[in-house]
């Protein structure tokens, strides 16, 4: 049976106050987070002495952490923003530093006065974001801060607003990136596992193939657990368990492919819930590709195509993008694939390829395709006929000049009749044992044109039959 918010809160308050042994458990410094989080939320909510700036859905805003800003008890600076929200509406907030001096950004969402819900707080490198379904209508406040006492600088802030969405109040997928952290509450409005008893929070983060993920959850309200799930899989691929006050729950996982994975903090006990802090760290085993086989230079005649190939090594799969010109200029795209055939070329052209994987890219050396003037074929020596004995064989051959490649097509009959192809494609061919006269000619072709030989006539000397006298 699903517990009400009040029942869940009462359960975890009782768990905090009363240890099984009747004595307080030793408290780890890692668990001094709950009170600090509540204090930050209250200061952003009150905004005493702070300028409150209005946010509009879909309109980028910018601000700056600077001397003279409001400060938390630990001395870190913060700005306060506000927006008008509607109950059931899903909003996505994201903050992105614009200066290198603004490090470890921290994003805080606070509900209107009188709303006891507890939205998440997210911080860390990159662009922290919060996705949340609003629990009430009214003025919501957003704190933009930092976890670095010396941090300052400009930032951009964006809120995207959607319509009402079904489901439990807190059951939305919170975006998270490697190296970031988030604090939140498990309550009766959180997501429910299939057993309809255990509540969990839902986070999603992108990983590259080979990334080693460590998910760590601490809580001073309940015995924490954390599970890591692959896309489309209802069973956790890694699970960690901990103890409130003393032991974090830690799960480790190596991503077998690039995808967005789920990290679910939850309570070991169905009767416990409350505050938790989640941190995720990643170690990348993925490296950008290297070009092991460079595309080769070649020479062709005007009007011909060139076939180019390259090979990359590293963590696949790879994509290959070919360009003409010099790297890294990508303005002249040619085609995709490990091997490509160029269009017909009339001038010398340089080509190169960029090989990419989930971790980066590598540019090849330049392959120069030299284009020479094309000379049409000309016949130097046409095939010769003559007289041959019955049953003998005869070799017809042609000598031709012109730009390579030269191709040959032999025909029966008189030139230029092509209705009787013989199927021979070399500059010479040898007949089968002769029984009848042969008439043949050859057409020589290259990219610049064609040339026809004269007709060769071969007469077969058939022995006369002897007749006996009566």
8 A C-beta contact, residue 121 and residue 53: no
CA distance 90 to 83: 13
| pLDDT of 374 | 85
Nearest to 69 by CA among 8, 136, 154: 154
Q: Does domain 1-24+170-286 have CATH number 2.60.120.380?
A: yes
Tokens standing for residue 31: 């668990």
Each domain of the chain, given as residue ranges in start order, spans 1-24+170-286, 32-166, 290-372, 378-461
Report the alpha-carbon distance of residue 19 to residue 245 in Å, rounded: 11
pLDDT per 10-residue tile (average), the chain, 470 residues: 34 36 44 78 91 90 93 94 89 93 95 90 93 91 95 93 57 89 88 84 90 92 92 86 91 89 91 90 85 95 92 89 95 96 95 91 96 91 95 96 92 96 96 96 93 96 70
How far is it, in rounded angstroms, from Cα 68 to Cα 350? 57
Residue 143 tokens, joined: 């704190």
- With vertex at residue 13, the alpha carbon angle to CA 7 and CA 18, rounded to the nearest 5 degrees, is 125
**Which pLDDT belongs to residue 32?**
61
Q: Are 157 and 78 in contact (CB under 8 A)?
A: no
Superfamily holding 290-372: Immunoglobulins (2.60.40.10)
Locus of tokens 């007749």: 467
Please give the pLDDT value at position 170: 58
Contact (Cβ atoms closer than 8 angstroms) between residue 194 and residue 225: no
Residue 16 is predicted with a pLDDT of: 35
Place of tokens 């429910």: 192
Question: Distance between CA atoms of 75 and 150, rounded to whole angstroms?
Answer: 9
CA gap 213, 280 in Å, rounded: 7
**pLDDT value at position 15?**
36
Cα separation of 141 and 128, whole Å? Answer: 16
Cα angle, residue 291 at apex, residues 288 and 294 outer, rounded to 5° = 160
In whole angstroms, give the CA distance from residue 398 to residue 415: 14
Return the CATH number of the domain spanning residue range 32-166.
2.60.120.380
- What homologous superfamily does CATH list for 378-461? Immunoglobulins (2.60.40.10)
SS3 letters for the chain? Answer: CCCCHHHHHHHHHHHHHCCCCCCCCCCCHHHCCHHHHHHHHHHHHHCCCCCEEECCCCCCEEEEECCCCEECCCCCEEEEEEEEECCCEEEEEEEEECCCCCCCEEEEEECCCCCCCCCCEEECCCCCEEEEECCCCEEEEEEEEECCCCCCEEEEEEEEEEEECCCCCCCCEEECCCCCEEEEEECCCCEECCCCCCEECEEEEEECCCCEEEEEEECCCCCEEEEEECCCCCCCCEEEECECCCECEEEEEECCCCEEEEEEEEECCCCCCEEEEEEEEEECCCCCCEEEECCCCEEEECCCCCEEECEEECCCCCEEEEEECCCCCCCCEEEECCEEECCCCCCCEEEEEEEEECCEEEECCCEEEEEECCCCCEEEECCCCEEEECCCCCEEECEEECCCCCEEEEEECCCCCCCCECCCCCCEEECCCCCCCEEEEEEEEECCEEEECCCEEEEEECCCCCCCCC
Same topology between domain 32-166 and domain 290-372: no
Residues 140, 123: Cα–Cα separation, whole Å? 19
**What is d(CA 144, CA 81) in angstroms, rounded to the nearest whole number?**
8
CA distance 452 to 449: 11
């Amino acid at each position: 049976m699903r517990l009400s918010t009040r029942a869940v809160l009462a359960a975890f308050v009782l768990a905090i106050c009363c240890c099984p042994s009747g004595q307080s458990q030793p408290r780890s410094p890692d668990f001094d987070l709950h009170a600090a989080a509540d204090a930050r939320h209250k200061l952003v909510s009150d905004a005493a002495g702070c300028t409150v700036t209005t946010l509009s859905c879909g309109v980028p805003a910018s601000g700056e952490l600077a001397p003279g800003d409001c400060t938390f008890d630990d001395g870190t600076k913060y700005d306060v923003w506000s927006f008008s929200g509607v109950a059931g509406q899903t909003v996505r907030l994201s903050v992105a530093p614009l200066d290198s001096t603004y490090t470890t950004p921290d994003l805080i969402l606070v509900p209107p006065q009188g709303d006891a819900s507890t939205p998440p707080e997210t911080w860390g490198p990159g662009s922290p974001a919060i996705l949340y379904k609003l629990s009430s209508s009214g003025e919501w406040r957003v704190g933009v801060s930092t976890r670095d006492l010396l941090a300052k600088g400009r930032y951009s802030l964006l809120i995207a607003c959607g319509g009402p969405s079904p489901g439990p109040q807190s059951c939305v997928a919170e975006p998270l990136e490697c190296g970031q952290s988030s604090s939140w509450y498990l309550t009766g409005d959180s997501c429910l596992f299939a057993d309809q008893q255990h509540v969990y929070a839902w986070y999603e983060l992108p990983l590259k193939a080979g990334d080693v993920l460590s998910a760590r959850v601490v809580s001073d309200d309940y015995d924490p657990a954390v599970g890591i799930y692959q896309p489309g899989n209802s069973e956790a691929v890694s699970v960690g368990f901990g103890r409130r006050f003393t032991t974090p729950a830690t799960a480790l996982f190596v991503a077998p492919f690039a995808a967005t994975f789920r990290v679910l903090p939850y309570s070991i006990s169905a009767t416990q819930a409350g505050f938790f802090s989640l941190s995720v760290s990643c170690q990348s085993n993925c490296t950008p590709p290297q070009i092991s086989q460079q595309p080769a230079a070649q020479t062709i005649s005007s009007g011909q195509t060139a076939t180019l190939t390259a090979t990359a090594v590293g963590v696949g799969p790879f994509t290959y993008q070919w360009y003409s010109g010099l790297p890294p200029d990508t303005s002249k795209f040619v085609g995709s694939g490990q091997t490509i055939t160029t269009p017909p070329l009339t001038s010398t052209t340089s080509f190169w390829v960029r090989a990419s994987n989930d971790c980066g890219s590598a540019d090849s050396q330049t392959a120069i395709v030299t284009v020479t003037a094309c000379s049409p074929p000309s016949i130097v020596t046409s095939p010769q006929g003559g007289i041959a004995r019955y049953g003998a064989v005869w070799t017809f051959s042609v000598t031709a000049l012109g730009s390579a490649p030269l191709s040959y097509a032999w025909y029966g009959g008189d030139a230029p009749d092509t209705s009787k192809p013989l199927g021979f494609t070399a500059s010479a061919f040898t007949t089968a044992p002769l029984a009848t006269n042969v008439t043949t000619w050859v057409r020589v072709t290259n990219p610049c044109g064609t040339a026809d030989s004269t007709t060769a006539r071969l007469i077969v000397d058939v022995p006369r039959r002897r007749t006996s006298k009566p």
